[in-house]
């Protein structure tokens, strides 16, 4: 079992030099405030089943590799609970190797762009000062979890 520590921010001005990124399709088999189970197709090169439980910034995360056939068999079970996005990885200067994962959403979430940063420990997560190009922090807003976005769409008044 692993622990995921991440902070999430809205991004209104997308940096011009993001590069091509990679397409992620993910769908949720089940989701709730304390548990979500998703499947992900990562640029058609890898497939995973991920179970997340706990809070918004720190939670348990377990990933299991799936064969493409397993992913395709489960995909119909996620109807109505899917997201499609392109992820860009941007190194963050002066942060001991941290990277920003910029997600540009498509389809019903078109126009939403978020940036996430994952951390090795709680201290570095709390100490992190976001760069000026990051927008408003939504780490503790459950409306911006991918599971809720997949099920309910864009939050009102975003």
**CB neighbours of 135 closer than 8 A, spacing ≥ 6?**
9, 10, 11, 12, 13, 115
**Is 144 in the active site?**
no
Rounded Cα distance between 98 and 156, Å, is 31
Eight-state DSSP code of residue 155: P
Rounded Cα distance between 71 and 22, Å, is 18
Q: Rg (Cα) of the chain, in Å, rounded?
A: 15
Task: Name the pairing type of β-strands 22-31 and 82-91.
Answer: antiparallel
Rounded Cα distance between 139 and 145, Å, is 8
Catalytic residue among 28, 71, 105, 144: 28
Question: What positions carry a catalytic annotation?
Answer: 28
């Amino acid at each position: 079992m692993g622990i995921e520590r991440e902070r999430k921010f809205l991004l209104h001005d997308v940096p011009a030099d993001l590069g091509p990124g990679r397409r992620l399709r993910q769908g949720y088999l089940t989701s709730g405030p304390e548990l979500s189970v998703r499947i992900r197709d990562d640029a058609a090169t890898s497939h995973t089943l991920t179970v997340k439980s706990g809070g918004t910034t720190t939670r348990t995360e377990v990933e299991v590799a799936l064969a493409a056939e397993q992913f395709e068999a489960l995909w119909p079970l996620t109807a109505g609970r899917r997201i499609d996005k392109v992820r860009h990885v941007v190194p963050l200067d002066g942060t001991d190797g941290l990277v920003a994962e910029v997600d540009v959403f498509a389809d019903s979430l078109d126009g939403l762009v978020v940036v996430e940063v994952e951390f090795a420990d709680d201290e570095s997560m709390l100490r992190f000062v976001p760069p000026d190009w990051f927008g408003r922090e939504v780490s503790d807003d459950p409306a911006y979890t991918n599971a809720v976005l997949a099920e309910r769409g864009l939050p009102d008044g975003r």
